[in-house]
Chain A
Amino acid sequence: MRVPMTEYLFIDLDTERWICRVCAHDFGDARGNYKEGTLVYDRDPREIHPPVIDPEKYEFTFSPDPAFCRILEFYCPTCGTQIEAEYLPPGHPPTVDMLWDIDSLREKWEARGDNPEEVVNYGPGENAVTDLSARFDSVGGHTHGKAGH
């Protein structure tokens, strides 16, 4: 049984592993920090948020100051999907953003008796109905449909 925990991450309750919903890459122990299974890149924030006013003339430009702010990009090592983008001060440890009680998670889903990949959606409203099943089960890798709009 695989539970969609984020847009790109399953927890496989049978194996107790974090896995990529896109390509099935194994990120590690579901009781631990999925980030430990990712590739990380320290992005200069000016590359993502380009200046609107001339950085040669001005200190404040619409671009974050790299001495204050870095963007850590977390990638799936197999498919290259960007799973998280974390804004941090330079040198600050990456945040362990999610730790789940796997026994409790299993208990809840076993009590429900249905398949998480089929019943989890983005919330109320017909636009929020989506397919959160494993993309790697479909033929051809990135052939998932566009959600919603």
Chain B
Amino acid sequence: MTMTTSEFVPTGGNDEESQLLTNQEQQWVDKFMDETTLFLGPDPAIMRHHEIMPRSKYEEECIAQGVDPLEIDRIRKRLAGALDEAFEMCESMGAAPGAKWADLSCAVYTAEGDVTYLSNRGVIAFSAVLHHPIRYIMKNWKDEPTVGINEGDGFFHNDSRFGMVHNTDQSMLVPVIRGGIIIAWVGATIHEGENGACEPGGMPSGSESPFDDGLRASPIKIVERGHLRRDLLTFLQHSTRDPKLMLADIKVKMGAVRRIMDTVDRLIDEVGQETFVASLRVTVEDVETEVRRRIGELPDGTVTFNQFVDSTLKENILIKFACKITIKGERMIVDLTGTGPEILNRAINSPLASTKSFMAQAILSYWWPDLPRSTGALSPIEVITEEHSWADAGYDAPVGQSLQASFRGFSALQTAFAKMQFSSPQKYSNVVAPWFNQINDFLWGGTTQNGEQVGNLCADLNGMGGGAKAFRDGEDAVAPLFCAMADIGEQEVMEEEVPFLQLVSKRLVRDNQGFGKFRGGMGYEMIVASRGTPSWGFMTVTSGSKFSSVPGMFGGYGCPVYPLAIVKGINIYDIIQKDPTQFDLSIERVMNEQPFEGGDYQSAHMGLQFDVAKEGELYMIAQGAGGGYGDVLERDPELVVTDLELDRISAQVATNIYGIVWEPETYVVHEQATIELRAQIRRDRIARGKPYHEFVAEFVQEEPPKDLLYYGSWGQDNDEELIATHWGGLEPERVTGKLGELPLIMVPDRRVLKIARLEERVRELEQKYGETVVHKS
């Protein structure tokens, strides 16, 4: 950063007069500082701000020439058409699995980088994050003689420290230049997956330092005056496991951006440069103005929603994501104080910009989906965080699996909004329970049956269960929280390219529901096994195996938790070949009956680092469910028996939770018996429930249970005071204090801890049986 001023500035010392710099001297200092900056890293002046830029002088001049709302609307629609067309180009031609399933976005930006309009499909979170790299490029490369910005140039980046949803995504940002002036930008960004991280697929759960996160591309000029730079391309290809993917999708993005540029060129020819610039700027401002107005429609007050995440993806902990949202008139303040500290050798931390991008995702797809997808949507909302919390990670924290924190930024806003908007007579979206928010999916990597090195993920990521609406059940496996119209892909097509089969795919798991008056959408199970490959492995990158990831709404229950189930030491293909009846696979049957002789049956949490999968070994997970809405005793009994008949719920759930009595043969509801059972359940509730203050006196403890590895505030009365678990040696110790007072938090290798426990046990047994053994170190 360079300090600039047009005034005399004191530089310290006793004699201030003698230390003042003239304007000329200050300019020399500034120039010297600019020319000798050691490293142009992520710039806090850019990265900590999500607000739209003030109008530039040129934008002022353009707007001063007059703005016709109808013409702006027409320009916007033309741009939307071009962006959707470019989106489809990426989707149909992209090599990345993510591209084929809509995990991408195309956009038009103002000259200073504010997103004016995003493609209608795709990942909305990009609307609140891609202004960062453009501002970086404008600040550092525009006047840099060795770089510069010229017509036909294209910039690439992937590192979320410079502004990206996460490090799997790769951009192509291209300036629109007229008369030597940059008047806008267009861009395409795709979730490419593989990025050379310590594990294949680009989202390493095993990352323990920022250098394990993979490619660290700051904004670089990969396309120079229309030509792809082969030297830089080769570097990028060499830095990842899938050079073909890198080349193919850079070209796809160049083509998509060219298509947007064609429309932009025609539009400017038709309406004039000034009108075009004015329309981009006015759109961003209009969205911001409308967001303020809509905040003003909400009731003043504070809604608090805390989340507890149960995994570092290597071990089970409990780390808090705190959120208080306060509305006062047209101001909204989102305060994450109380959120746990960053963990410096675990992958779950998120840069602030990435966390905020998912707040924009909630706003533009679940609060006000009718608004243009613009940086203006998050701009007027104040966000308070503490740097070096896990939702606002510092430069030295690994962020390879940043979605663990940033998705919680989404859930914080999406969940709280049901309470914020419920009483508002003017709504722009339905009242809905929490959407599922985890990446219940297989990542994979290795050598394919075609001899190629690959690393990526299954499209089942996109099969998240929807939250129940206030008037209907949530939809099963409907869409990921980050992309309303994503696809879960054609498994058979994938199997032509990757050496594993989904032996079970899209089969719903009984009781995998958020129960309620209306239940959440259900998730399905996936069973995979590698086949025909010299080397292959799977990973999973999910928390929520001990603590439910999403709750319900207004009395409804949340989702269950999700295990990883593995059977090692078998070859399912040989087993099925010998006895085809064994193809009756489900997590429940395989794990409970253990039907395959010699198999090693394991359950674990869903943070699996790259695990070598021998041919025919089974890996089994389930996609997650959305939260339920309302009291379970208000669920229509016919809906309950329908779910029962379809084996979506167990008899135990129908009876004990929903309070239904039915005829087992015919699934006919016994109405009177059901009324009586439900009345009894209500009486039971009243009998066992304790008055609030009495309950609090018994339940609430001064601090978390001793053995819980806890991080974050405890309660909400003093969110600045955090609790953390610190390892000075092998034994954890609990520490408390403000974030800045806590020691650096690192978690020891669980295998080291396990060895220590085993050695301790060996010593105990040696003592017990009087055996003397010399342990050499």
Q: Which of A's residues lie within 8 Å of B, judged by CB?
A: 3-8, 11, 35-42, 45, 47-50, 52-54, 57-65, 67-69, 71-75, 77-101, 104-105, 108, 112, 114, 116, 119-125, 127-128, 130, 146-149
Q: Which of B446-470 contact A (CB under 8 A)?
A: 469-470
Residue among B299, B429, B652, B657 facing the most chain A CB atoms (10 A cut-off):
B299
A87 and B703 alpha carbons, distance in the complex (Å): 17
Contacts of B515 in A (CB 8 A): 48
Residue B268 is within 8 A (CB to CB) of chain A in the complex: no
Ordered by A's residue number, 30 sampled pairs between the chains whose C-beta atoms are within 8 Å are A8-B554, A39-B685, A40-B699, A41-B690, A49-B511, A60-B564, A62-B511, A62-B512, A67-B707, A68-B547, A77-B686, A80-B682, A85-B555, A85-B558, A91-B705, A93-B714, A95-B304, A96-B304, A101-B300, A105-B301, A114-B425, A120-B422, A122-B431, A123-B428, A124-B430, A146-B636, A148-B471, A148-B472, A149-B471, A149-B473
Nearest-Cβ distance from residue A67 to partner chain B, whole angstroms: 7
Given A58-B603, A65-B547, A147-B470, the answer on whether A97 and B304 have CB atoms closer than 8 Å is: yes
Given A5-B422, A37-B692, A49-B561, the answer on whether A79 and B708 have CB atoms closer than 8 Å is: no
Tell me if A61 and B316 are in contact (CB < 8 A). Answer: no
A42 and B686 alpha carbons, distance in the complex (Å): 13
Residue among B305, B547, B591, B715 facing the most chain A CB atoms (10 A cut-off):
B547
Q: Which of B277-333 contact A (CB under 8 A)?
A: 299-306, 308, 310, 316, 318, 328
Q: Which of B's residues lie within 8 Å of A, judged by CB?
A: 299-306, 308, 310, 316, 318, 328, 419, 421-425, 427-431, 469-473, 509-512, 515, 517, 545-548, 551-558, 560-565, 587-588, 591-592, 601, 603-605, 622, 629-633, 636, 650, 652-653, 656-657, 681-683, 685-686, 688-693, 695-696, 699-701, 703-705, 707-708, 710, 714-717
Tell me if B299 and A68 are in contact (CB < 8 A). Answer: no
Tell me if B555 and A83 are in contact (CB < 8 A). Answer: yes
Contacts of A59 in B (CB 8 A): 603-604
- Taking chain B's interface residues, is the majority helix, strand, or loop, or is none over half, making it mixed? loop
A77 and B689 alpha carbons, distance in the complex (Å): 8
Contacts of B517 in A (CB 8 A): 7
Q: Which residue of A is nearest B602, CB measured?
A: A58
A19 and B58 alpha carbons, distance in the complex (Å): 56
Contacts of A94 in B (CB 8 A): 692, 696, 699-700
A125 and B735 alpha carbons, distance in the complex (Å): 51
Tell me if B551 and A5 are in contact (CB < 8 A). Answer: no
Nearest-Cβ distance from residue A36 to partner chain B, whole angstroms: 5
A130 and B472 alpha carbons, distance in the complex (Å): 12
Nearest-Cβ distance from residue A11 to partner chain B, whole angstroms: 8
Tell me if A105 and B300 are in contact (CB < 8 A). Answer: yes
Tell me if B685 and A41 are in contact (CB < 8 A). Answer: yes
Given A50-B650, A67-B707, A95-B716, the answer on whether A80 and B427 have CB atoms closer than 8 Å is: no
Q: Which residue of A is nearest B549, CB measured?
A: A87
Contacts of B310 in A (CB 8 A): 68-69
Partner of B696, one of A87, A93, A127: A93
Given A8-B554, A79-B682: 17 more A-B contacts, CB < 8 Å? A35-B692, A38-B692, A40-B690, A48-B515, A53-B603, A54-B591, A58-B563, A62-B622, A75-B685, A77-B691, A81-B682, A83-B631, A89-B318, A101-B301, A123-B429, A127-B472, A128-B469
A149 and B629 alpha carbons, distance in the complex (Å): 14
Given A89-B708, A91-B704, A97-B419, the answer on whether A53 and B560 have CB atoms closer than 8 Å is: no
Given A60-B564, A77-B689, the answer on whether A124 and B588 have CB atoms closer than 8 Å is: no
Partner of A63, one of B509, B560, B701: B560
Contacts of A82 in B (CB 8 A): 555, 631-633, 685
Partner of A65, one of B299, B301, B546, B699: B546
Tell me if A60 and B551 are in contact (CB < 8 A). Answer: no
Nearest-Cβ distance from residue B33 to partner chain A, whole angstroms: 48
Q: Which residue of B is nearest A37, CB measured?
A: B692
Nearest-Cβ distance from residue B488 to partner chain A, whole angstroms: 21
Given A84-B555, A86-B551, A90-B705, the answer on whether A68 and B316 have CB atoms closer than 8 Å is: yes
A74 and B588 alpha carbons, distance in the complex (Å): 33
Contacts of B548 in A (CB 8 A): 45, 49, 64, 69, 87
Contacts of B604 in A (CB 8 A): 59-60
Residue among B430, B692, B705 facing the most chain A CB atoms (10 A cut-off):
B692
Tell me if B472 and A67 are in contact (CB < 8 A). Answer: no
Q: Which residue of B is nearest A91, CB measured?
A: B701
List the 8 closest A-B pairs by CB distance, nearest first. Answer: A39-B689, A148-B471, A80-B682, A91-B701, A60-B563, A100-B301, A101-B300, A123-B430
Nearest-Cβ distance from residue A111 to partner chain B, whole angstroms: 12
Tell me if A83 and B427 are in contact (CB < 8 A). Answer: no
Tell me if A71 and B554 are in contact (CB < 8 A). Answer: no
Given A38-B692, A60-B564, A85-B557, the answer on whether A97 and B547 have CB atoms closer than 8 Å is: no
Q: Which residue of A is nearest B556, CB measured?
A: A85
A100 and B304 alpha carbons, distance in the complex (Å): 12
Tell me if A127 and B471 are in contact (CB < 8 A). Answer: yes
Tell me if B700 and A89 are in contact (CB < 8 A). Answer: no
A97 and B422 alpha carbons, distance in the complex (Å): 14
Given A4-B423, A53-B591, the answer on whether A95 and B555 have CB atoms closer than 8 Å is: no
A78 and B707 alpha carbons, distance in the complex (Å): 38
